[in-house]
Structure 1
Amino acid sequence: MHTVTLNNTNYTIRLFDESRDSVEELTGLLHRAYKRLADMGLNFIATFQSVEYTRNYFKKGECYILESHNKLAGTVFYYTTMWDDAPEIYKHNDSVLIGKFAVEPELQNLGLGSKLMDFVESLACENNKKRVVLDTSEKALHLIDYYNKRGYEYKHHWQWPDVNYKSVILSKEL
């Protein structure tokens, strides 16, 4: 468990616990946070994924949540298992993929996402990873700009089979 303070509010970052946390609530957070992307015509899986899809994701890694007063405020997923058809950079032992990064819309642009990113990047260092990798739509310029400001660099494009956009693969050396 990790605690951060922002604007006099304490937030905790911890592993999602299926025995006490709501997968429905987590799925709803993803839908709300990714709605802006859906409104741009981008069908990120997080905009429409089912509760069961979210639950199955827990088999692929670690889901961290950001909360205050037991209220979910954000999430990020730290992949520990990689699928065969992923980009090669995702499969390197010294890389870690992060995804399903989301903050409640009314809490966005306050710095909470940066706190989550700081946490997951530190976790990667603790796990002896040399880089963090991620992807987003080439049309999500606001996200690309955010990641660039955090030190992420463009590696190449990628086409996932279940989305209607081309992705950019970004990487940050730790």
Structure 2
Amino acid sequence: MEMTEDFAIRPFQMDVDSIDELTRLLNVSYKQLSDLGLRYLATHQDSTITRERIDGAHCLIALKDNRIIGTISFYKPGMKHGCPWYERDTVGVVGQYAVHPDYQGLGLGTLLLNRVETYAFQTGLKELALDTAEPAAHLRSIYEKKGYRFIEFANWDVTNYRSVILSKTLPSKRENTQ
């Protein structure tokens, strides 16, 4: 478990943590996007869907005062489908990425994403990808500033928008040791 001044970050534990609490976090964190008319699955998914979406993933949670205030899931190659980029054997995928609105803008989201990028690098992957709504320009801008670039468009059956697939080239082992 990683501790920062205000947060603890650790893997989600099915036998310890509440899937219902994780689901509520996702729902409330994506509400502002829902208010914009974007129907991300996380805006309305129930606990059964949350459990399915983290099954087999490396799901991290951020805790403050024993409450889940952030989450991110990493999926190994072969776990995510629906667009050609996600199906490459050198590409990991980020999903279910959320920070409670009360804690947004404090760097917690960056900390979670950095942890997953490090994990993906350590597993030997060359790329880490994610998707967001094409109309969510503010999110696209954040990801682009973090080194993610546009790859392709995708249309998911569970959303009402076209998604942009963004990906970041992870450092090679030689680059990382310098």
Task: Give the TM-score range, shorter chain.
Answer: over 0.9
Find out whether 1:35 has 2:31 as its counterpart: yes
Alpha-carbon deviations, 1:46-84, whole Å to 9, x = none?
A: 00001111111232412110112322110001113524x
Find out whether 1:82 has 2:64 as its counterpart: no
Return the alpha-carbon distance in structure 2 between the equivalents of residues 30 and 68 of structure 1: 16
Taking structure 2 as the reference length, what is the TM-score of the superposition? 0.91
From 118, 122, 127, give the equivalent of 1:122.
118
From 92, 117, 139, give the equivalent of 1:143.
139
Return the alpha-carbon distance in structure 2 between the equivalents of residues 149 and 131 of structure 1: 16
Considering fraction of residues, name the structure with more strand: 1
Which residues of structure 1 form unaligned runs of 5+? none
Secondary structure at the counterpart of residue 140 of structure 2: helix
- 1:100-115 equivalent positions in 2, closer than 5 A: 100-115=96-111
How many percent of aligned residue pairs carry the same amino acid? 39
- 1:14-53 equivalent positions in 2, closer than 5 A: 14-53=10-49
Return the alpha-carbon distance in structure 1 between the equivalents of residues 46 and 143 of structure 2: 27
Give the partner amino acid of 2:86. Y
Contact 2:82 2:154 in 1 (8 A): no
From 154, 158, 167, give the equivalent of 2:154.
158
Return the alpha-carbon distance in structure 1 between the equivalents of residues 152 and 59 of structure 2: 26
Return the alpha-carbon distance in structure 1 between the equivalents of residues 133 and 125 of structure 2: 24
Return the alpha-carbon distance in structure 1 between the equivalents of residues 56 and 31 of structure 2: 24
Secondary structure at the counterpart of residue 101 of structure 1: strand
Contact 2:134 2:161 in 1 (8 A): yes
Secondary structure at the counterpart of residue 161 of structure 1: coil
Taking structure 1 as the reference length, what is the TM-score of the superposition? 0.93
Return the alpha-carbon distance in structure 1 between the equivalents of residues 56 and 159 of structure 2: 20
What root-mean-square deviation, in Å, do the aligned CA atoms of Structure 1 and Structure 2 show?
1.2
Which residues of structure 2 form unaligned runs of 5+? 171-178
Secondary structure at the counterpart of residue 18 of structure 1: coil
Return the alpha-carbon distance in structure 2 between the equivalents of residues 126 and 97 of structure 1: 14
Contact 2:85 2:151 in 1 (8 A): no
The ranges of structure 1 where at least 4 consecutive aligned residues each deviate by more than 3 angstroms after the TM superposition are: none
